[in-house]
Structure 1
Amino acid sequence: MSDIPGWGPHGPYGAPPGWSWNGYGWTPPPPPPKPGVIPLAPLGANHIIGGAFATMRRYAKPLFAAAAAAYGLLAVVAAASGVLAYVATREHFRAVAEPGAVSWDDSRPILIAFGLVWLGFMLATLVVNSFVQAACAATLHEAVLGRPAPFGAIWRRAWSRTPSVLAVTLLLSIVLMLPVAAFALLFLSLLFLMMTQSIIPIGLVLPLFLVTLPLAAWLYVLFAFAPAAAALETAGPFTALRRSVSLVRGAWWRTFGISLLAGLIVVGVSLAFRLPLQFAAPGPPQVDPDDPMSTYLLDQLRSQFGLYAALGLLGSFLTQLAATVFLPLVTALLYLDRRIRKENLAHTLREASAAPAPVP
């Protein structure tokens, strides 16, 4: 059995690697140093998930303050854009509101104005999400070394890396749109089947959907480390993509599994908050045939707003904020784990943790 590769002696006199003889017996190697939120050694799933939670707890100010400020700015810009679009098309709104006066000449400016607002909001959301990913990576850089992470330094570093992370995020968004587009075609094919009894469209679209879904998942995991590489290695978009492919190679299923576990944790926390609120939601008011429709609609609004709505909105914002921070941290820790395993990054991190922190 000792001739089988991997089953023979490990080290002198059959000792496992790192063990030493102290005169009385074999002494296990010392635990790896842990100056920050993770040990500087190959990480298990427990280290990765636990490290993400530890970073959120110890570095809550730079993480959540940066994310809340970015999303708050996004909300202000979106609201201001909506108001400007309404002001610019106010006369057309009034014309459309008149009974029997709906025309394409009045509807077209409204659709164009709010379509531009929606497009701008989606682009701004991508920018903000890229900034948050860069802020998470910049904070984790200090958290791994056990150093403080001032809000101002994290903010400046994250904005400097946002353009490169944004380019990578745009590509990942396109990858995610592949199964969404295939699902939309599948839905349209089902409608066509119900209306015409023809199975030709769904027969063509269903195989496309079944191929697109695993292809998109494979590509997304393959490029998952690109945002972290763009932020931590100051790499350009294409260099970051190549780095991600190189690091994920040989560990695709592990990366997919731990990322899926992190996603399930986020879903579980969200459901744990939402389900009690749904059970505690006020019931709809009873309909009185003698009341006018306006009174019924007003009662509906009152039943859905108030303290319950405020708690729901606040809880949704907090859970979403935590998710936007937690998932990038997990991905960045997976990226560090791959570099520790493939590039001996642990040695570099040990030297960096022992050196004095640079002056921001």
Structure 2
Amino acid sequence: MAPKPGIIPLRPLSLSDIFNGAVAYIRSNPKASLGLTTIVVVITQILALVLQLGPIISMGGKVGAQTGEELSTPVVVGSILSGLTTGVTTFLAAILLSGMLTVVVARAVFGSKITVGEAWQRVRGRLLALLGFSVLEVLAALLLAGVVAAVIAGIAVAANGLAAVIIGIPLVLALIAALAYLYTSLSFTPVAIVLERKPIIESIRRSFGLVRNHFWRVIGIRLLASVVAGVIAGAVSIPFSIAGQVLLLGDTSSGSIILSTTLIAIGGAIGEILTAPFAAGVVVLLYTDTRIRAEAFDLVLRTGANAGHTDIVPADNLWLTPSR
């Protein structure tokens, strides 16, 4: 029997071990998991809601009386600005949340709790690296998509539409395969940045190295976790969405639109609060399992557990690896 000081047994993990551990750390430390997620998600949703409803509120309840042409300028401009701002805010909030939850899960492996303040102190110095990696990841995806789109457009201009379709379909499929490969191979980069405290490039290499011989296991478990999280989030948000749509039947006044949009946002926020900690837990535990299988990392964790590493610094230092 492998020792189990915290949320997982210190041995190679099964799928049930990973999923159970991702739920167990939430139950064992709800303040630092659900509480932290609630703070970040609620602030993000409130900002998004204010920006989205700003143009409607500014029209003073005249939405139902205006024509589509009269509404077009303020609503379209407001939607574009709110969309951009919301996207940037959500992007930054997701980086902060994933980094702090990574620390919470890592501490739960030893059966220890960590406060939100302590998690912030642990992640604060790694935020720029997390942000830099996230930006590089987005730029790489946009670059690949742009190259494929440019090639297809060039073929359409040089030859004809049929040739563009014939060549474009395999190119699009290849793009999807390349994005899936990068998505999986880079899965552990944020974890390496936070727990191993490596710079961006070394963390990327580290993630590729860990995933290389475990690719199908990593992508399979991550996809399954995404499906589970999506089902839970959908089950929670659907009643709010239905209620919001019912409010708009036969009534397009600003009050109904505001109430409907607010209900839909509340449903989305609750779904994200429930699923974001689970998704973060799966990634960190999958990273732990991969290190156990590739590096016998369970021996290191057992040493730390036997030594009673419940203090923050000694326990966190166990995750470090020598920099090359």
The equivalent of 2:246 in structure 1 is: 282
Report if aligned partners of 1:138, 1:154 keep a CA contact under 8 Å in 2: yes
CA distance in 2, matches of 1:158, 1:322: 22
Looking at CA atoms only, which structure, 1 or 2, has the larger radius of gyration? 1
* TM-superposed deviation, 1:156: 1.9
CA distance in 2, matches of 1:198, 1:176: 25
1:246 is matched with which residue: 209, 222, 231? Answer: 209
For each residue in 1:271-319, what CA deviation from the matched residue of structure 2 results, as whole angstroms up to 9, or x when unmatched?
Answer: 3234455666637656xxxxxxxxx533x964x665x765543222011
CA distance in 1, matches of 2:229, 2:151: 28
Cα–Cα, structure 1 residues 159 and 61, in superposed 2: closer, same or farther, change >3 Å? same
CA RMSD of aligned residues (A): 4.1
CA distance in 1, matches of 2:258, 2:44: 24
Helix, strand or coil: the match of 2:252?
Answer: helix
Moved more, 253-262 or 68-77: 68-77
Report if aligned partners of 2:152, 2:164 keep a CA contact under 8 Å in 1: no
Q: Which has the higher helix share?
A: 2
The equivalent of 1:4 in structure 2 is: none
The equivalent of 2:129 in structure 1 is: 164
**What are the ranges of 5 or more consecutive residues in structure 2 without an aligned counterpart?**
60-65, 314-324
How many residues get paired? 298
Report if aligned partners of 1:132, 1:158 keep a CA contact under 8 Å in 2: no
Task: With the length of structure 2 as denominator, give the TM-score of the two structures.
Answer: 0.76
Report if aligned partners of 1:37, 1:144 keep a CA contact under 8 Å in 2: yes
Helix, strand or coil: the match of 1:342?
Answer: helix
1:53 is matched with which residue: 19, 23, 29? Answer: 23
Cα–Cα, structure 1 residues 183 and 37, in superposed 2: closer, same or farther, change >3 Å? farther
The equivalent of 1:257 in structure 2 is: 220
CA distance in 1, matches of 2:92, 2:241: 33
- Could you tell me which amino acid in structure 2 is paired with residue 348 of structure 1? V
Asked if residue 62 in structure 1 is aligned to residue 62 in structure 2, the reply is: no
User: Which structure exhibits the higher relative contact order, with contacts defined as CA atoms closer than 8 Å and separated by 6 or more residues?
Assistant: 2
- Could you tell me which amino acid in structure 1 is paired with residue 133 of structure 2? V
The equivalent of 1:208 in structure 2 is: 171
Task: With the length of structure 1 as denominator, give the TM-score of the two structures.
Answer: 0.69
- Could you tell me which amino acid in structure 1 is paired with residue 302 of structure 2? R
For each residue in 1:63-111, what CA deviation from the matched residue of structure 2 results, as whole angstroms up to 9, or x when unmatched?
Answer: 222233334444566678889999xxx9xxxxxx9xx999xxxx8xx96
Cα–Cα, structure 1 residues 198 and 348, in superposed 2: closer, same or farther, change >3 Å? closer
Report if aligned partners of 1:78, 1:121 keep a CA contact under 8 Å in 2: yes
CA distance in 2, matches of 1:254, 1:81: 41
Asked if residue 237 in structure 1 is aligned to residue 207 in structure 2, the reply is: no
